[in-house]
Structure 1
Amino acid sequence: MNIVVLAGGISTERDVSLISGQKIYQAIKGNGHHAVLLDVFLGYEGDISHIFEDDINWEAQVSGIKETNPDIEKVKAMRPDWEKNFFGPNVIAICQKADVVFMALHGENGENGKIQACFDLMGITYTGTDYVSSALSMDKGLTKDIFRQYGVPTPQGFRLKKGEKEPEEVTFPCIVKACCGGSSVGVSIAGNEEEYEAAKAEAFKYDKEAVVEQYIKGREFSIGLLEGKALPIIEIAPKQGFYDYKNKYQAGSTVETCPADLTPEQTKQMQAYAEKGFAALRLKNYARLDFMMGENGDMYCLEANTLPGMTPTSLLPQEAAAIGISYEQLCEKLIAISLKK
């Protein structure tokens, strides 16, 4: 098949996306497909007549993930016309030539449903869920409302617009996060009023709304799902602090155990909640849901990730490997189940 791996963009998760894209590109090339690794924002300005046959070094644009967020303003400066058209040169035309577009995008404009809606209108086949479930899952406040409605336990909390007064008293410690962020960018733990104000300021750097929720002290888990069925659970234990941007993407920063050390009953219950959350958000094909387990054993679903990371240290590939699915096989499976829709 001719496959475009779409990555990059201008979200705070740009670097993660490019590394995911590179890994996917290498895998599907190794599987015998013709592939293009395309930055959705920067595009490609060369001749696209034989884009899938041309010998182009697509990986030259990819660098390692740094400990800090990428310089998005620097990226935007590379395309002065970007406000008129989010898509870089020839992006749509190249995607229209593909049998399928493998979505390796993360964060805003990759997981909020806008690109998916555009592709639907243009008849472009892509991996992952559709635009409606993408939009629902991107909004953490709305996700929590849906979880509650469908009986999926989630931490208590509220959403807050910038400049608005809190609708209820804040209990410390608490978590403050950007409403539509990802990779734990704009997420802070606040133990007092001073830290809370700083946490709000940090969240509002990335979004006009924030979610404030109870802090759950305990163990952290994540569950990938393929076609709505839960994979083995992975436990995440950062060596320092919480599972923030640095701990997610710097090798050796976190101890990850899959399958997680849970009783059979706990495993069954958490996987059931994950499958229920997947269905409640109307997710399709594949996704990943994150959980906390309190010290008393209570489980809480935090959020859904509609395009899980596919870097060498990402969780979904580790969970698939636990049941004998290699990275290359996982890429093929994600393509196959997405082509069914």
Structure 2
Amino acid sequence: MTKKIAVLLGGNSSEREISLMSGKAILNALKKSNINAFGIDPLQFPLLYLKKYGFTKIFIALHGKGGEDGILQGVLEYLNIPYTGSGVLASSITMNKFITKNIWKENNLPVCPHYLLRKKDFIKKNHAKIKQQILKLNLPIFIKPNCTGSSLGISKVNNINYIFDAIEKAFIYDTSVLFEKYIEGTEFTVGILHNKVLPPIRVEPINSFYNYQAKYYSNSTQFFCPSGLDYKKEKELSKIALDAWNIVECSGWGRIDVILDTKDHFQLLEINTVPGMTSHSLYPMAAKKIGLSFQDLVLKILNLTDK
């Protein structure tokens, strides 16, 4: 039977725009490899019909809610169609930054101090308590939606007077918000492909942090691969990233973001189980360093579903 591949792209999350860019790039790569592939947007096609229309494999290119949070994975498990990336449990855990960090911390992996605020608790009588919790972390801090990617809704706050504006901005994207101590240092991103660590990339944005614009549109952000770390430090980073990956039972492919602080210690930030695959994306850049073209990379990710 000829394989019929659905590339799921778009969707209704706040990361729809990036998902469309990633999905189209993946679809083009599959077609260049003479794969019988079709782009499917769940907003226009009921997912329960995937089996009915003869799709035998799914390449997930949906970012954010409905793509990376285990819901889609559960539907595909029910339909018994193989799919790319992590399973239901790992996807649902890692979509939640707060839960992921707590699991890492329980397993003695390095994470920076953090605090969670739920929307139902963001009421006037709690404002003084919220301020107090934030001041315990020491300014500056990051305020970010707990279950959103692509740096959407994130703010770096240096002044206590601006925290409530930043919280309200984050609540646009999610019903819980993460406060995270700002760690001065250098950001690295580490791709993982079938339990193998790809060459780490050092990220140097021109802005104060690696925000949405810097990730997907700016040409001024600088990326370094090789990362500039010495052999021993790069081995340490690779081990931390792989341990973080395995502890939450991720599989297939993904990316972990890490900060190297000014005391030369790594701090884990988050996991992305469906990394961007756009022209500005870092995952294909790392794969290229080990000799995988974009087309080869897409095929390798797809073929991991055969295991």
Give TM-score, length-normalised by structure 2: 0.92
Matches within 5 A, 1:60-75: none
Unmatched tracts of structure 2, length 5 or more: none
Decide whether aligned partners of structure 1 residues 222 and 95 sit closer, same or farther in structure 2, where only a CA change above 3 A counts.
farther
Query: Does residue 29 in structure 1 map to residue 34 in structure 2?
Result: no
Q: Determine if contact 1:228/1:285 at 8 Å carries over to the other structure.
A: yes
Superposed CA offset, 1:180-220 (max 9, x none): 01100011111111221121111111111111111011111
2:241 matched to 1:284?
no
Which is worse superposed, 183-192 or 246-255?
A: 246-255
AA aligned to 2:111 is T
Give secondary structure in 1 for the equivalent of 2:133: coil
What is residue 10 of structure 1 aligned with on the other side? 12
CA contact (8 A) 1:4 1:95 kept: no
Post-superposition shift, 1:327?
0.5
Distance 2:134 2:155 in 1: 18
Q: Secondary structure at the match of 1:168?
A: helix
CA distance in 1 between partners of 2:275 and 2:134 (Å): 34
1:332 aligns with: 299
The answer to whether the 8 Å contact 1:95/1:101 transfers is: no
The residue type paired with residue 7 of structure 1 is: L
Cα 1:243–1:29 change in 2 (3 A) is: same
Structural RMSD (CA): 1.3
- Indicate the residue corresponding to 2:76 in structure 1: 119
Greater shift, 116-125 or 134-143, is seen at 116-125
- Shift in Å at residue 251 of structure 1? 4.4
Q: 1:95 Cα deviation (Å)?
A: 5.1
Instruction: Note the alpha carbon deviations across 1:289-328, whole angstroms, 9 max, x for none.
Output: 0011112211101000011111121111000001111101
AA partner of residue 35 (structure 2)? H
> Counterparts in 2 of 1:228-239, with a 5 A limit?
228-239=195-206
Q: 1:101 to 1:235 in 2, by over 3 A?
A: same
Distance 1:193 1:115 in 2: 39
Residue 107 of structure 1 corresponds to which residue in structure 2?
64
Hey, what's the Cα distance between the residues in 2 that align with 1:332 and 1:135?
25
Measured in 1, the distance between the counterparts of 2:255 and 2:168 equals: 28
- Within 5 Å, which residues of 2 pair with 1:204-243? 204-243=171-210
Alpha-carbon distance in 2 for matches of 1:174, 1:242: 12
Report what 2:50 is aligned to. Answer: 94
CA distance in 2 between counterparts of 1:155 and 1:253 reads: 28
Q: What percentage of aligned pairs have identical amino acids?
A: 33
1:252 maps to a residue whose letter is: N
Which residue does 2:92 correspond to in 1?
135
Give the partner amino acid of 1:168: Q
Give structure 1 stretches of 5+ with no counterpart.
Answer: 44-86
- Match of residue 104 from structure 2: 147
Q: Which residue of 1 aligns with 2:284?
A: 317
- CA deviations over 1:115-136 (Å, ceiling 9, x no partner): 1001101112111110110000
Structure with greater proportional helix content: 2
Q: How many residues align?
A: 294
* 1:172 alignment partner, one of 131, 139, 149: 139
Separation of aligned partners in 2, 1:2 and 1:169: 51
What secondary structure, in the 3-state scheme, does the structure 2 residue paired with 1:303 have? strand
